[in-house]
Amino acid sequence: MTAEQISEIKSLLAQPQSISIIPHRNPDGDALGSTLALKLYLEQLGHSVHLIAPNPYPEFLSWLPHQEEIIFFCEQKQKATQCLQESSMVFTLDFNDFSRTGEAMQQVLAGLETTFVMIDHHQAPADYARFTYSDVNCSSTCEMVFNFLEFLGDTHLITEDMATCLYTGIMTDTGSFRFSSTSSRTHKIIARLIDAGANNTAIHNAIYDSSSSNRMQLLGVALSNMKILPAYKTAYISLSQEELDQNNFKKGDTEGFVNYGLAIKGIIFAAIFIENKEENIVKISLRSKGDFDVNQIARKHFQGGGHINAAGGKSDLSLSATLEKFEQLLPQLTHE
Ligand code: 5GP
Ligand code: MN
């Protein structure tokens, strides 16, 4: 952000504002952590703040401090729409385009005449915001919220709850500080968050060591379904609706499964295809190592997007037809 933009935001925030904060649909640890932390900060400044999520988050995030204050657009459409329409400022975090909030919410956002502030690390940010803080090199939106507080000279206002939220988002978006987006700056910020009260062991435990036994059984199914294609340095997993049902699937249970493909020596491209009969789609997650760009693949072939090494999308074909399409694309994708 430029010094001019920062001082403009500062003067806006010097008056009490009515503010809404929004994460993307199906919010993950980074989306929730960043929006919750920003809410707690802006409330300390004396603003009236609503956090409006398009839809619920998975259970493994349900311990995050202050999550009970979140309004879900899909459940309280009228209240959420009213909050948005009455907001003098709307912060949109961890997404780059209104479409990432889902069709219904997207329409409401597009009709607002308010001051939008975008804080996001995805490629190709849309230009709806009066203030756009976009940095594709940043590990996470939580890291950017820390930077944002630093721009405003307010990191001393980071409470234990805020530190917990920010730590969670940085940890989940960096795969526990191992992806290439993890910088020395990331670790310096993490140190500051621990000093501010984030309990690193407790957070790791709450996120990674709190699975249901059903989830572990489902992981077994996923791993036995994994198809390894050494010629294309690719491994992919598929899960049918029937397999999900048999293992009492709950939202969030498949989080992280896609990464197991990359654990195999020589594999640089991993994918997971998860059938969703309710939405009549196949949800797709793509992961890669090095400069193999899965964001482009998600954009071009699977109605999605994301980052170079982590992207997602969907397919309207059946699960088997989607897998067939993927295998047919592989020679071209891996030799482009
Ligand atoms: P995941 O595979 O964990 O759902 O998402 C990985 C990355 O891809 C995240 O940065 C997420 O925002 C992005 N992503 C996932 N699904 C979609 C999608 O359907 N559309 C777009 N544009 N991005 C997605
Ligand atoms: Mn993120």
Sign, Cα dihedral of 289, 295, 297, 302 = positive
Q: Which atom of ligand 1 is nearest to the CA of 304?
A: 20
Sign, Cα dihedral of 107, 113, 114, 117 = positive
**Is any atom of ligand 1 closer than 6 Å to the C-beta of 305?**
yes
Burial class (CB in 10 A: 0-12, 13-18, 19+), 201: exposed
Q: How far is the CA of 210 from the centre of ligand 2 (A)?
A: 22
Distance CA 191, CA 327 (A): 43
Total Cβ atoms within 10 A of residue 79 = 14
Which pLDDT tens digit goes with each residue over 294-321? 999 999 999 999 999 999 999 999 999 9
Distance CA 230, CA 59 (A): 35
**Is any atom of ligand 1 closer than 6 Å to the C-beta of 287?**
no
pLDDT at 336: 54
Sign, Cα dihedral of 35, 312, 54, 278 = negative
Write the DSSP string, 68-88.
GGPEETTT-HHHHHHHHHH-S
**Is any atom of ligand 1 closer than 6 Å to the C-beta of 27?**
no
Which pLDDT tens digit goes with each residue over 183-214? 999 999 999 999 999 999 999 999 999 999 99
Q: Which two tokens stand for residue 62?
A: 């349900």
pLDDT at 183: 97
For the chain, domain boundaries: 3-208, 213-335
* Amino acid in the structure at residue 127: D
CA 330 to chain centre: 26
Which residue's alpha carbon is nearest to atom 4 within ligand 1? 312
* Of residues 259, 271, 260, 265, the one with CA closest to residue 323: 271
Instruction: Encode 14-69 in three state secondary structure.
Output: CCCCEEEEECCCCCCHHHHHHHHHHHHHHHHCCCEEEEEECCCCCHHHCCCCCHHH
Domains 3-208 and 213-335 share a fold: no
pTM: predicted TM-score of the whole model, two decimal places: 0.93
Q: Write out the residues surrounding ion ligand 2, Cβ under 5 A.
A: 30, 94, 141, 173
**Do the Cβ atoms of 310 and 286 come closer than 8 Å?**
yes
Please tell me the number of the ligand nearest to residue 174's CA: 2
Which pLDDT tens digit goes with each residue over 35-64? 999 999 999 999 999 999 999 999 999 999
Contact partners, residue 162, CB within 8 Å, separation at least 6:
36, 37, 40, 41, 196
**Do the Cβ atoms of 245 and 218 come closer than 8 Å?**
no
Residues of the chain where predicted confidence (pLDDT) is lower than 70:
336
Q: How far is the CA of 304 from the centre of ligand 1 (A)?
A: 7
Sign, Cα dihedral of 22, 128, 1, 15 = negative
* CATH architecture, domain 213-335: Roll (3.10)
Please tell me the number of the ligand nearest to residue 171's CA: 2
Q: Which atom of ligand 1 is nearest to the CA of 24?
A: 12
pLDDT at 152: 97
Distance CA 134, CA 183 (A): 17
3-208, what's its fold? inorganic pyrophosphatase (n-terminal core) (3.90.1640)
Q: How far is the CA of 165 from the centre of ligand 2 (A)?
A: 13
